[in-house]
Structure 1
Amino acid sequence: MADEPPPVDEMHYEQLAQNALRGVIRYALDRAATPDGIPGAHHFYITFKTRAPGVSVPPDILAKYPDEMTVILQHQYWDLSVEPERFSVMLKFGGMPKVLGIPYASVTRFYDPSVQFLLQFEALETTDETSAKAETGAETSPPDGDDDGPKVISLDQFRKK
């Protein structure tokens, strides 16, 4: 019996699933951008890589958060603009309004503590080379899970056993 190589996922399901889950963030932000704002007790903690390609953060904020930062969208946010690949929002830092531009590919965590909903990702690069990989479905490594804390949405729960 010859050793056969493992099957190759030419559909790139992991990448497709990651992109679909990033769509959940886009939909939630779309709802938050309506005149009614975020419904009920929902609020969002969004963690992103500050130096990821396409991120737009004022220099003073970047100096304070050189790798990663978490923003909270709850009651005081302005000019939330949701686009297919990114969103922008105005928040106050030390009483001063600052506009942040955040590609979904830079988001590493999206958490709504009101319902203990968490999505966790590996930050994707958005350079031309990696955009081409994403279009062809290049694989990414799975996200690290937390041992303690809210529910982490794992792709394993959707797979047939």
Structure 2
Amino acid sequence: MSDSIDYGNKMHRAMRGLIAEVLTEVGERGLPGEHHFFVTFDTQNPDVEMADWLFDRYPEEMTIVIQHWFDGLVVGEDGFQITLNFGDSPEPLSIPFSAIRTFVDPSVEFGLRFETQDDQDEGDPEIVEIAELDLDTLEAEVPDVKSEPEKDDEPPQKEAEVVSLDSFRKP
């Protein structure tokens, strides 16, 4: 038995449980209202599964936007799977919760950041103040979304958006 309670890891599990619960609801019912998510994850995590060409383009971290078009959102105990459209190419991703660095829902000014230390021990998770993340600049950096002409009975599909949050991190 340890001499101390590991609050940091307990907080990580609780916050990742919150993310799992939210994604499960979205997988079952879709995104309500104006909700959308920026999810930044560590592509070096051994349990991340993604196309080689995406890994080549994002060898350290990647930010996905879950908003207009996504498919196959399935949440498991250790992570989630989702298919996003990258330039008219649907690509499946498998992202373990342990790989998530930030989870932000700018529509309600909610965000979580999971800090890690150089020795790979996780630091304390923090609830991010949206003001810290200058969302106007972030959204301005998101590439223009191209929509495909669709049949009248289908909603327009938009490309997945990949953005870098590095410039918004605390030093």
* Fold in common (TM above 0.5): yes
1:76: which partner in 2?
69
Counterpart residue number, 2:112? 119
* CA–CA distance in structure 2, aligned partners of residues 102 and 140 of structure 1: 18
Aligned residues: 129
Deviations 1:97-140 (A, max 9, x none): 1000000000000000001100000359xxxxx9xxxxxxxx63
Q: In the TM superposition, what whole-angstrom CA distance separates every residue of 1:54-84 from its partner, at most 9, and x where no partner exists?
A: 0001000001101000011112000001001
Structure 1 gaps, min length 5? 1-7, 125-129, 131-138, 151-161
SS of residue paired to 1:10: coil
CA deviations 1:1-56 (Å, max 9, x no partner) are: xxxxxxx862211210111011111011001101x301111111100011112000
Q: Determine if the alignment matches structure 1 residue 43 to structure 2 residue 36.
A: yes
Tell me the TM-score normalized by structure 1: 0.73
In the alignment, the residues of structure 2 paired with residue 9 and residue 65 of structure 1 have an alpha-carbon distance, to the nearest angstrom, of: 40
Aligned to 2:85: 92
Give the Cα–Cα distance (whole angstroms) in 2 for the partners of residues 13 and 69 of structure 1.
Answer: 28
The answer (yes or no) to whether the contact 1:105–1:123 under 8 Å persists in 2 is: no
**Aligned twin of 2:54:** 61
* Identity, % of aligned positions: 35
Q: CA RMSD in A?
A: 2.4
Q: Distance in 2 between matches of 1:72 and 1:39?
A: 15
TM-score by length of 2: 0.68
Contact 1:107 1:123 in 2 (8 A): no
